[in-house]
Amino acid sequence: MDWKKLSTTKIYEVYRRLFLTRCYLCNGKCENTLCLPCQEGLSLNTNSCHHCKRPTHTISNLCGQCQTLPPPYHFCIAPYRFEGIVKTLIHNIKFNQGNHYIRPLTYLLSNHLIRTYSSGNWPEQLLYVPSHPNRIKERGFCQTRAMSNHLIKSLQQHIGKECPALPKYNPIQKTKHTKAQHSLSRKERLKSPQNSYKVDTPIAKHVALFDDVMTTGSTVENCAKLLLKAGAERVDVWVIARTPDKEH
């Protein structure tokens, strides 16, 4: 590795973040983390199920699955679709050390959250769907932990004391090292073991459950059930993006 080159790049990055206000994607001038044209290039999840935010082609109230078997969480916030630029950014965070994309994505999610909770009633705690310790070892970090940290910082700036607390120890633990979800087909994902998480008590009565991407929804449903069993009375799901169904 060329250490000299790396350190120069890092120093430039720090300098750029501290002294220049530039868009994280195109490096153009902007007032915050992403310029408007870049924000407009992200796929908004406008047409989606009211409850689980499953992307649909038309404005719909509830998807078929929510009508027959509603998920256990209170509602889901998923402002983007997992496609195009959003998919590339999240992929880079996970696999190409693109940690600098965490800030713009969590900043955008925080804006959506502030609009959704405009009348107050914020969750007391923010908990996240963690990776298995072995995967954290492989990647060197847990991306949902890093994203939660940034999300809380962004929220604190705007809502101050109302901001949910992010516990130092996340009570949700992944206990089984399952195959990475992205490497499975939809059929395999639906079959993959659901009891691979556990929740330690105590937890707050109203919690937010964060994950970066929601695919079939089985992971957040499973975690939400465990949180409700562990004493939560309301679980709000917060994800950056939701994957559109291939079958539709």
Residues contributing to the site for Zn ion (CB under 5 A): 23, 25-26, 28, 35, 38, 49, 51-52, 54, 63, 66
Q: Which two tokens stand for residue 76?
A: 């889901």
Q: What is the DSSP letter of 245?
A: P
CB of 102 to Zn ion, least distance (A): 16
Question: What is the smallest separation between the CB atom of 129 and Zn ion, expressed in angstroms?
Answer: 19
Measured from the CB atom, the residue of 66 and 127 that comes closer to Zn ion is: 66
Integer Cα distance of 134 and 221 in angstroms = 23
145 vs 189, beta carbon nearer Zn ion:
189
Minimum CB distance to Zn ion, residue 235 (Å): 15
Nearer of residues 28 and 167 to Zn ion, judged by Cβ:
28
Closer residue to Zn ion (CB): 66 or 213? 66
CB of 204 to Zn ion, least distance (A): 25
**Which residue type is seen at 95?**
F
Give the chain's count of helices (H) and strands (E): 9, 7
Of 173 and 222, the one with the shorter C-beta distance to Zn ion is: 222
The CB-of-25 to Zn ion minimum distance in angstroms stands at 5
Burial class (CB in 10 A: 0-12, 13-18, 19+), 60: middle
Phi, psi for residue 10 in degrees, rounded to 5 = -60, -45
Q: Would strands 172-174 and 197-199 be described as parallel, antiparallel, or unpaired?
A: antiparallel
Q: What is the DSSP code (8-state) at residue 8?
A: H
User: Residue 86 or residue 152: which is nearer to Zn ion going by CB?
Assistant: 86
| 195, 226 contact by CB (below 8 A) | no
Tokens of 107: 């900043």
Q: How far is the CB of 16 from Zn ion (least distance, A)?
A: 14
94 φ, ψ to 5°? -75, -40
What separation in angstroms does the CA of 70 have from each of 34, 73, 218, 236?
35, 9, 12, 14
H or E element at residue 16: helix 3-19
Q: How far apart are CA 218 and CA 31, in angstroms?
A: 38
Least Cβ distance, residue 197 to Zn ion (angstroms): 22
Question: Residue 66 or 109: which CB sits closer to Zn ion?
Answer: 66
